[in-house]
Homo-oligomer: A and B are copies of this chain.
Amino acid sequence: MLRIHFDEITRTFESILLARGCPAVHAAKVAREVARNSLEGTYTHGVNRFGRLVRNIDQGLIDMAAVPTLGKAFGALENYDGNRGFGITNAWFAMGRAVELAAVYGIGCVAVRNTNHWMRAATYGYEACDLGMAGICFTNTMPNMPTWGAVDAHLGNNPLVMGFPYKNGHILVDMAMSQYSYGALELAMLEGEQMPTVAGFDAEGNLTTDPAAVHATKRVLPMGYWKGAALSFVLDIFAGSLSLGNTTSEIGKLPGGEYGLSQTFIAIDFSKVAPPDRVEEIIRTAVEDLLSSKSDGSSRPIVYAGQRLAAIKSRNEKEGIPVDERVWEDVLSLKSRSFQDFPR
């Protein structure tokens, strides 16, 4: 495992994007955010995913120059066409706009259609939190999860983020609606391990912790069984309806990959009705109470949602970000090759 510094990763990504004709402002932002995902410990959506992002550019799924255009606006509610631009720049714009609306109206809501994968969902919750506001956002995805009682995927794993600013590390949950991602299943398969809890159904229709069995059936488990299936569908309806965009079922019909997504961003400027110092005290008391929980003696750490980010980030800033050697070689090779040269 290599340890590479954030700046080197960012510069490398940026040069690869610039060489493909990406506008400088988008190249800088996308490079920075993808590298930051690894810096802050979400390795699946950081350096490990950059190759796939570039493939989507080379396939023509992402229009690197596109910016969102306004659909309709009414007070604190707006929707936009993402014009198949970068998921990262579109989503960053949308949460930023929700924050602007919240500064004026107390709460703001922005929906975006026709956008691309936003990489780490948490990023846009942290964006709001870093600006001193509470943030909620969710996206739909291509169909990748069966609903409860079904064998074929008609739901997305539609991650949901809710974040609230806190001085000692924002309180933030970033949860996909599947209990485990395909990435997590694949990693466990490679390492010959079972999942810590049931991950989906095997070929006989039984719940199993065996990642290979679930990978074979594609019957990943919704988190909370029927609950995650229900929430996934409702998030899809919210995102598709507010943006007048695709729902998961429509995304599944698009040829050639995952694009044309719908997303929703809500920011709440709580400081307008709740003094931040009072709020800070409310949160501190709640955090201390949660962390005083008695351990069950297992290795499961008792933490609040979002607590571990700071320590991971601090270590990766000091020691460099852990990157698999082959992954980094692949990234470097993107300087001289295009995915258009290869079969998909």
- Chain A positions near chain B (C-beta within 8 angstroms): 71-79, 104-109, 111, 134, 146-152, 154-155, 162-164, 166, 171-173, 175, 179, 197-198, 201, 205, 207, 219, 223-228, 230-231, 233-238, 240-244, 247-250, 266, 268-270, 272-274, 278-279, 282-283, 285-286, 289-290, 292-298, 300-302, 304-305
Contacts and interface: CB of A to CB of B under 8 A. Distances in A.
A158 to B, nearest CB: 12
A305 B228 CA distance: 11
B272 A75 contact: yes
Nearest to A165: B241
A50 B234 CA distance: 30
A162 B205 contact: no
Contacts of A296: 146, 149-151, 201, 205, 219
A225 B179 contact: yes
A101 to B, nearest CB: 9
A305 B223 CA distance: 15
B107 A175 contact: no
A32 to B, nearest CB: 26
Nearest to A288: B249
18 contacts: A76-B107, A147-B293, A147-B302, A151-B293, A151-B295, A171-B234, A171-B237, A173-B227, A173-B230, A175-B231, A223-B227, A230-B305, A241-B283, A242-B273, A243-B274, A244-B278, A244-B279, A244-B282
